[in-house]
Structure 1
Amino acid sequence: MADYISIKQASELWGISKARITKLCQEGRIDGAVRNGRFWCIPENASKPADMRTKNSKQSEHSKLLLPMPIGISDYKTASTEYYYIDKTLMIKDFLDEKPAVSLFTRPRRFGKTLNMDMLKTFFEISDEETSVYFKDKAIWSCGDKYTKHQGKYPVIFLTFKDVKYNTWELTLHKISDLLSKEFLRHPELSDSDKCNDREKKYYDRIADGNADLIDLSAALGNLSAMLKKHFGIAPVLIIDEYDTPIQQGYMYGFYDDAITFMRNLFSEGLKDNNNLSFGFLTGILRVAKESIFSGMNNLSVYSVLDNKYSQYFGFTKNEITEMTRAYSVPEKLDEICEWYDGYVFGEQEIFNPWSVINYFSNGCQPKAFWISTGDNSIIEEILEQADSELYDNLNSLISGKRITSYIDTNVIYPEIKKNPSSIYSFLLITGYLKYTRKDIANGNDYICELELPNREIRYAYKKEILDKLSGIFPQNLTIPVQEAIYKKDAVKLRELLCKIMLNSISSFDYSHESFYHGMILGLLVTFESGYRLTSNRESGLGRFDIQLMPRNSKLPGVLMELKSTKDKNDDLKALAKAALEQIDEKRYDTEMKAEGVDDIIRIGIAFCGKTAEVEVE
């Protein structure tokens, strides 16, 4: 009779989690495995299954190909064993080399913050499960005992506020209370610990049972860390993911002061001069230091998109993307991925949007703007309602492919954004809508940066989430007819549509200068981008054309537009539109298109005055 080993023994032998081996037994993928009551018995000489759906350094490119993409997976154990996982564990080494007391990482949404925090939790946390198996095939394990000795040695407090999205303070506080209750319940050993006194145990019960008042809740992190240190004899690690979500909700829905006051007290108890803490990690989108949430916290180290440290751990690097294309046997797709999802710069590191890349592979390598609508951008909409003409011109320049230069405040906070519309650039950079191509230190921690759009996906994002809002949201039922009118060379219909759009979406201030009309047309034409390269104010022939739509394939016509505007209602708009059309030929703006082999070119002259327009087409 064959000798058998337990699932635990097989886990240690093969370096696979017990849960995964149990599933493989249930699927009949381990030869000779038999069930004995509630347990599985595995033949001692059984071979490790060939397709373990786990990726390690010795794994073949073919087996990598079998792994699905971790869309929406923020659990490290699952992501690293059942999906294509890009190894970010050297982040642990970098941290342990310096051991800052409290680290705050600010990054745009969907750039891997929650998954990285769960990785840290899995690495550091004391557990009944042998969690080292999740790291033995990762880069951190080859770094030596200096680092691996920390694995599984600390109690961990873990909170994520990413789903605290309510429109009242009462509901927000109730959700936070529920999160704290669940985290206390994750440490049931404290309820009857002989290391904790009766007062502490009663406090534990109040939080765990959801019967705590505001003062009890504010002290939760400080008290929980003290109890954990008493019980385990070692201070815990505190991890807080998306800490600023309740603050953003408070700003948008009118309970900002309540949110700030509570979060300040909660973090002060848990992070400021807390001797019962080994170290802490926080993630968010904004730093919001000026709000005094972290007032007096000299132990806080902040790592933003402008800093070099940890820059390669949030998002994918060029080398990682290249390896992915090889693993999935699509190296020819690298240029397309770069065009759509590359372009971010964190510190000095070139970064790809990870959410969009994994969706791209999961979508059969068909590009789309996957990142759009993955978060709430109502703050951007509110800011743009206050936009002045200079801000409008700059955003139009960005979508035209140009760069702008702006002061970047690394401490940008929600109230100041509305008071100072120019701070929109800081907000857009931090939230992932801009990248910097150059940065120079201005004052203290602030910079003067040269800014541009990162990639093609963000151009779509500007159309959907920014430029539409800036122009009063162009009605979607009118943008398609605009395209049809252009293709049909229907000047009457195009004029009618432009006038209707202006009548419904702009104010008298908006059309005080020609740049508004230019920006409005650019916003409408972004919908052409699937078939065209949209450029504006670029030299061609004997001058600079206003707008050009260069076709991406030979089946589409090229489009050139020249715009004119006047404030004098007595001017002949028809004649002005005709002059604009003639200028296209006189200045030979079609030179670039003809050099590209485009012979079918639609030429359009448009003249504006107030909310009226005239159009000439040939």
Structure 2
Amino acid sequence: MKSCKEMSAVWSISERRVREFCEEGKIPGAVKLGRQWQIPDGAERPADSRIVTGRYVKSGGANGRKPLPVGISDYIRAQSEYYYVDKTLLIRDFLDRKALVSLFTRPRRFGKTLNMDMLRVFFEISDEDTGRYFADKAIWQCGEEYRCHQGKYPVIFLTFKDVKYDSWQATFAKISGLLQEEFGRHSELGNSDRLAKYEKEYFEKVLNGEADEVELSSSLQKLSKMLTVHYNKAPIIIIDEYDTPIQEGYSKEFYDEIVGFMRNFFSGAFKDNSNLSYGFLTGILRIAQESIFSGLNNLAVSSVMDEEYDGYFGFTKQEVGEMLSYYGASDKADELRNWYDGYFFGSKEIYNPWSVINYLSKGCLPQAYWVNTGKNEVLEDVLDAATDDISEKLYSLLRGEPVIARIDQNVVYRSLADDPANIYSLLLVAGYLKTVKKVLQGDGAWLCEVAIPNRETAAVYKSEILSHLMQIGAMRRATANKIAESLYARDTKKLQDGIEEYMKNSISFYDAGAEGFYHGLVLGLIALMDNQYRIRSNRESGDGRYDICMIPRDNKYPAILMELKWNKELNEENLDALSAEALNQINVKGYDAEIRTEGIADNIKFGIAFSGKKVKIRTE
């Protein structure tokens, strides 16, 4: 009988792989005695079923084209089985800069996990020649000074993208499981003759799921030391979506526990760790250094505002053009741009990669694909504290108007609700806004002109932000439909009933009571109809400025003009008179001049009066 170490020499593979064969039951006669496997002397090496380039290449879609990588974050599979957009020059740019620890902050579903797995495959020591996965990629053409790093480092890789639980106990259990799996990926350490007995005992404790919170908080530091000793080479540590459990902790009220753990966890890995070659982290928010990365002065941050690495997350215009040509859909370029383009990372124009891939895979069907990929629950806490000024600006954004905002990249989760103005910083880094113009301020913040990037994001904006502000969730869907149907049918009673029903279900929103407030309320309700109408507000027409005008996108619908009035504590008779005054103002001022200029003959005019939670509507 031979040990795993002895058989690894016979078969010319790693000891770790031999142990995996034993655990998978692929070596007849292998038995485990205590913690060690014993293998029959004449055992044959099992076939290695792991994925290699081209082994599982599919026949492709129509006309023999490769399928699109919907939801694929495994680099080896993505580049061999699917259409792959080459982002390997990220490796070149990193090696040129050689930052010890790099943090990349980008919105969800912009390719962070796939890029981190690409880095893992490129740098990690392996039994296989993993250089084959890069031989036809851009990085391989950059020369030996870059190729010499390929396959030369042990790598610790963790992704926290699925650590989404309601309690600290469940979150810790998941993190413990992820560490257990990662320690298992380095099973060669369990039999290493270079490690001390106490190190092997700690390794086995984590591997068996027996380590407690304190012990696991130093697990990255200890694992990196063991890998350095075993391989005589300091490892690379990659943490993907590091802030997902922190975000959950904030919204589910175990923020102190998760931050306390993560501060020690990351400090041991990245602060003054001599057993570290390089570190990579990804996330949505930067999170101020004093909160998590205390004293980590070697952290190089690449955010949506920075030009470094600006083309490596998301698709560039050129990359999208090549994809459209490959799939025979170049005629869809304008539609694709309107729906999924518009982001600016650094100085580059970027398309949402998740949505582009789904759009093409669905036969070029334009939909809001990104909205279904997750929910940023922190927005709810921030929106609860939104001021009237912020609410007004959010309505302006939804109407397609840019607003001026101060963007602070050092936002900490705990501070979001303390200063509601931080909502713009969160919306920008989370992918809900783009920067139209930006000016760096003396304190490191940016003064920006921000806007909604594209049609898809506008749909996401309505469903996740506007719906929260307007309490659409509390209003039955039938009520929303009633408002839309009543506008089409010119049914003032149905429209009045719908608005009153909404107001009754949203009583907490009616403390302020002023015309500007009701103006925003109506804009919020009709904004849900912007697929049928171009919605305009407070624009000059005729001899004055109308309140709201809805220009139909299709001539089968009528144009709609609304004039709003408000006063305190009106009885029914006076409220009715105020609605008549509003309707008369539309005619006297000639507010329909803009509609006539658009060549639209059919229009509906509404005079709407509010007082408290009461509403009266007149039309002609």
Q: Identify the TM-score tier after normalising by the shorter chain.
A: 0.7 to 0.9
Counterpart secondary structure, 2:427: helix
What's the counterpart of residue 120 of structure 1?
A: 119
What's the counterpart of residue 229 of structure 1?
A: 228
Query: Is residue 510–residue 612 contact of structure 2 (8 Å, CA) maintained in 1?
Result: no
Deviations 1:73-96 (A, max 9, x none): 111111111112111111111101
Deviations 1:139-180 (A, max 9, x none): 111111111111111111000011111111111111111111
* Corresponding residue pairs, total: 569
Query: Is residue 89–residue 138 contact of structure 2 (8 Å, CA) maintained in 1?
Result: yes
Deviations 1:552-592 (A, max 9, x none): 22222222222222235258222322332333334433334
Pick closer, same or farther for the CA change 1:141–1:587 going to 2, 3 Å.
farther
Which stretch of structure 1 is more off in the superposition, 162-171 or 598-607?
A: 598-607
Q: CA deviation at 1:62?
A: 9.0
Between the aligned partners of 1:141 and 1:396, the Cα distance in structure 2 is 49
Query: Is residue 154–residue 236 contact of structure 1 (8 Å, CA) maintained in 2?
Result: yes
Pick closer, same or farther for the CA change 1:332–1:546 going to 2, 3 Å.
farther
Between the aligned partners of 1:363 and 1:521, the Cα distance in structure 2 is 35
Q: Mark the runs of 5 or more structure 1 residues left unpaired by the alignment.
A: 1-36, 41-47, 56-60
| 1:385-404 correspondence to structure 2 within 5 Å | 385-404=384-403
What's the counterpart of residue 531 of structure 2?
A: 530
- One-letter code aligned to 2:593: T
What's the counterpart of residue 317 of structure 1?
A: 316
Pick closer, same or farther for the CA change 1:67–1:597 going to 2, 3 Å.
farther
Query: Is residue 93–residue 140 contact of structure 1 (8 Å, CA) maintained in 2?
Result: yes
Deviations 1:503-550 (A, max 9, x none): 111426554222222222222223322222223233344443322322
- One-letter code aligned to 1:602: I
Counterpart secondary structure, 1:312: coil
What's the counterpart of residue 382 of structure 1?
A: 381
- One-letter code aligned to 2:320: I
What's the counterpart of residue 518 of structure 1?
A: 519
Counterpart secondary structure, 1:282: strand
Pick closer, same or farther for the CA change 1:477–1:183 going to 2, 3 Å.
same
- One-letter code aligned to 1:251: Y
What's the counterpart of residue 369 of structure 1?
A: 368
Deviations 1:385-409 (A, max 9, x none): 2222111111111111112112211
What's the counterpart of residue 616 of structure 1?
A: 618
| 1:429-578 correspondence to structure 2 within 5 Å | 429-473=428-472, 474-507=475-508, 509-569=510-570, 572-578=574-580
What's the counterpart of residue 428 of structure 1?
A: 427
| 1:45-56 correspondence to structure 2 within 5 Å | none
Q: CA deviation at 1:53?
A: 5.4
- One-letter code aligned to 2:366: P
What's the counterpart of residue 26 of structure 2?
A: none
Query: Is residue 262–residue 292 contact of structure 2 (8 Å, CA) maintained in 1?
Result: yes
Between the aligned partners of 1:323 and 1:484, the Cα distance in structure 2 is 43
Q: CA deviation at 1:466?
A: 0.8
- One-letter code aligned to 1:354: P
Which stretch of structure 1 is more off in the superposition, 221-230 or 559-568?
A: 559-568
Query: Is residue 54–residue 82 contact of structure 1 (8 Å, CA) maintained in 2?
Result: no
Between the aligned partners of 2:98 and 2:62, the Cα distance in structure 1 is 39
| 1:30-109 correspondence to structure 2 within 5 Å | 66-109=65-108
What's the counterpart of residue 43 of structure 1?
A: none
Query: Is residue 386–residue 421 contact of structure 1 (8 Å, CA) maintained in 2?
Result: yes
Between the aligned partners of 1:580 and 1:86, the Cα distance in structure 2 is 57
1:410 aligns with 2:409: yes
Counterpart secondary structure, 1:311: coil
Q: CA deviation at 1:617?
A: 1.9
Identity of aligned residues (%): 52
Between the aligned partners of 1:279 and 1:567, the Cα distance in structure 2 is 65
- One-letter code aligned to 1:606: I
Deviations 1:274-318 (A, max 9, x none): 111110100011111255310111110111111111111111111
- One-letter code aligned to 1:442: Q
Between the aligned partners of 1:335 and 1:577, the Cα distance in structure 2 is 43
- One-letter code aligned to 1:150: H
Deviations 1:91-124 (A, max 9, x none): 1111011110000011111111111111111111
Q: Mark the runs of 5 or more structure 2 residues left unpaired by the alignment.
A: 1-44
What's the counterpart of residue 292 of structure 2?
A: 293
Deviations 1:331-382 (A, max 9, x none): 2211111111111111111111111111111121111111114222222112
Counterpart secondary structure, 2:191: coil
Query: Is residue 405–residue 447 contact of structure 2 (8 Å, CA) maintained in 1?
Result: yes
Pick closer, same or farther for the CA change 1:39–1:427 going to 2, 3 Å.
closer
Between the aligned partners of 1:360 and 1:540, the Cα distance in structure 2 is 39
1:305 aligns with 2:307: no
Between the aligned partners of 2:510 and 2:504, the Cα distance in structure 1 is 13
Pick closer, same or farther for the CA change 1:234–1:38 going to 2, 3 Å.
closer
Between the aligned partners of 1:459 and 1:546, the Cα distance in structure 2 is 22
What's the counterpart of residue 590 of structure 1?
A: 592
Pick closer, same or farther for the CA change 1:591–1:340 going to 2, 3 Å.
farther
What's the counterpart of residue 203 of structure 2?
A: 204
Pick closer, same or farther for the CA change 1:587–1:130 going to 2, 3 Å.
farther
Q: Which of the numbers 571, 578, 581 marks the counterpart of 1:579?
A: 581
Between the aligned partners of 1:261 and 1:39, the Cα distance in structure 2 is 45
Between the aligned partners of 1:383 and 1:281, the Cα distance in structure 2 is 29
Between the aligned partners of 1:67 and 1:84, the Cα distance in structure 2 is 5
Q: Which runs of 4+ in 1 moved over 6 A?
A: 37-40
Pick closer, same or farther for the CA change 1:118–1:38 going to 2, 3 Å.
closer
Between the aligned partners of 1:330 and 1:542, the Cα distance in structure 2 is 48
What's the counterpart of residue 158 of structure 2?
A: 159
TM-score, normalising length: structure 2: 0.87
Pick closer, same or farther for the CA change 1:599–1:129 going to 2, 3 Å.
farther
Q: CA deviation at 1:196?
A: 1.2
Q: CA deviation at 1:219?
A: 1.0
- One-letter code aligned to 1:518: H
Counterpart secondary structure, 1:562: strand
Between the aligned partners of 2:277 and 2:155, the Cα distance in structure 1 is 10
Between the aligned partners of 1:347 and 1:67, the Cα distance in structure 2 is 31
Which stretch of structure 1 is more off in the superposition, 596-605 or 71-80?
A: 596-605
Query: Is residue 79–residue 85 contact of structure 1 (8 Å, CA) maintained in 2?
Result: yes
What's the counterpart of residue 280 of structure 2?
A: 281
Pick closer, same or farther for the CA change 1:487–1:444 going to 2, 3 Å.
same
Between the aligned partners of 1:449 and 1:223, the Cα distance in structure 2 is 43
1:333 aligns with 2:332: yes
What's the counterpart of residue 130 of structure 1?
A: 129
Between the aligned partners of 1:470 and 1:341, the Cα distance in structure 2 is 25
Between the aligned partners of 1:274 and 1:98, the Cα distance in structure 2 is 19
Between the aligned partners of 1:39 and 1:307, the Cα distance in structure 2 is 47
Q: Which of the numbers 601, 606, 620 marks the counterpart of 1:599?
A: 601
Between the aligned partners of 1:148 and 1:593, the Cα distance in structure 2 is 64
Pick closer, same or farther for the CA change 1:38–1:166 going to 2, 3 Å.
closer
Q: CA deviation at 1:325?
A: 1.7
Between the aligned partners of 1:617 and 1:132, the Cα distance in structure 2 is 72
Which stretch of structure 1 is more off in the superposition, 160-169 or 555-564?
A: 555-564
- One-letter code aligned to 2:313: F
What's the counterpart of residue 188 of structure 2?
A: 189
Deviations 1:411-467 (A, max 9, x none): 111111111111111111111111111111224321111111111112111221111
Between the aligned partners of 1:94 and 1:607, the Cα distance in structure 2 is 61
Counterpart secondary structure, 2:604: strand
Query: Is residue 291–residue 413 contact of structure 1 (8 Å, CA) maintained in 2?
Result: no
Between the aligned partners of 1:566 and 1:377, the Cα distance in structure 2 is 38
- One-letter code aligned to 1:609: S
